[in-house]
Amino acid sequence: MKTVLWSALLFVTACGVSAQVTVEEAQRLLEERRTTRRAAVTQPEGELTQLRAENRQMKQTIDALRAQLSQAEATIKQRDQQIHEVKLKIAEIGRVIDALDALRAENIALRQQITTSPTTRSASTRPTISGSAWITRQAGQSDLLRGLRIHLLRRTVSKDAVNASFESNETHAIAELETYQKAMRGVPASDYLKEFSEKTKQRLETIKNLRAALNEQIELSTAYKLLSQTATYYPDFGPVVAAAAVTNVVANVDGKYQLKDCAAGDYYIYAR
């Protein structure tokens, strides 16, 4: 108690107070002094904590800005690469255009040469059609066809030639029908004979309808298909071949052939 009172008295004296004070008053003044000192010390600590929090927030903001900057740099780099690739493609297109221009100029020069200096062909310069004849079996083995007759045929044939082949098919069909009918006389007809008899009658009806619908000129492949529909095995194509033939040759021992002195045009090669 003496110490406290002494401190209070010292405090009063230091403050320049000469009046007499009580012990309670001295204690109150001493407590106010201590409170003032604590507040003075606490206030800077609170400001420091706030500054640290602000620094952390600013650092987070800076880090976010740096991340955005890195992303923007990566995007710019990618776009620069795309622009570079586009420039390369444009350069390539320019080279192609230059090449096309050169070709156009060359074509124009060639056309001028053709129009200013026409050429004539002699009979000796007419083309030759050559090839080889062979057959490939199911096992994959190929055999040369020596001595095979090779025909060069025009693309179209007349109605009369196709009718001649139809007549041949019709004659064969009538002969087959008569054979089936003789086989069925006086004996129970088997299902096999009845079926082939009906098919032969249908072939004869088909031949009649197809002949009625023929045009004056018929494409050769179309004629072959029509005749195949009415033949038992292979159509009689002989009259059509004879009418459409331009030339023919026999394949040599190596299966090779040459059709020489052919006029310009479109042809079929027929071998049988």
| Residue linked to tokens 């992303």 | 71
Which SS3 state, helix, strand or coil, does residue 246 take? Answer: strand
Residues 6+ apart with CB under 8 A from 239: 161, 162, 164, 165, 168
Average pLDDT of the chain to the nearest whole number: 78
Q: Are 106 and 231 contacting, i.e. CB atoms less than 8 angstroms apart? A: no
Longest dimension (CA), the chain: 169
Sign of the C-alpha dihedral computed for residues 154, 160, 161 and 163 taken in this order:
positive
pLDDT at 17 over 70: no
**Predicted structure pTM score:** 0.47
Q: What is the DSSP letter of 1?
A: -
What is the C-alpha to C-alpha distance for residues 30 and 13, in angstroms, rounded to an integer? Answer: 12
235 touches 165 (CB < 8 A): yes
pLDDT tens track for 71-111: 999 999 898 898 988 888 888 888 888 888 888 888 888 87
- Tokens 């991340």 belong to residue: 67
Which residues, including other chains, have CB under 8 Å from residue 174's CB and lie 6 or more apart? 204
Query: Higher-confidence residue: 39 or 201?
Result: 201
Is residue 151 predicted with pLDDT exceeding 50?
yes
Residue 117 scores a pLDDT above 70: no
- How far is it, in rounded angstroms, from Cα 227 to Cα 263? 28
d(CA 191, CA 183): 12
CA distances from 222 to 170, 185, 264 (A): 18, 39, 22
pLDDT given at position 9:
43
Q: What is the DSSP string of 17-77?
A: --S---HHHHHHHHHHHHHHHHHHHHHHHHHHHHHHHHHHHHHHHHHHHHHHHHHHHHHHH
Q: What integer pLDDT is reported at residue 21 of this predicted model? A: 53
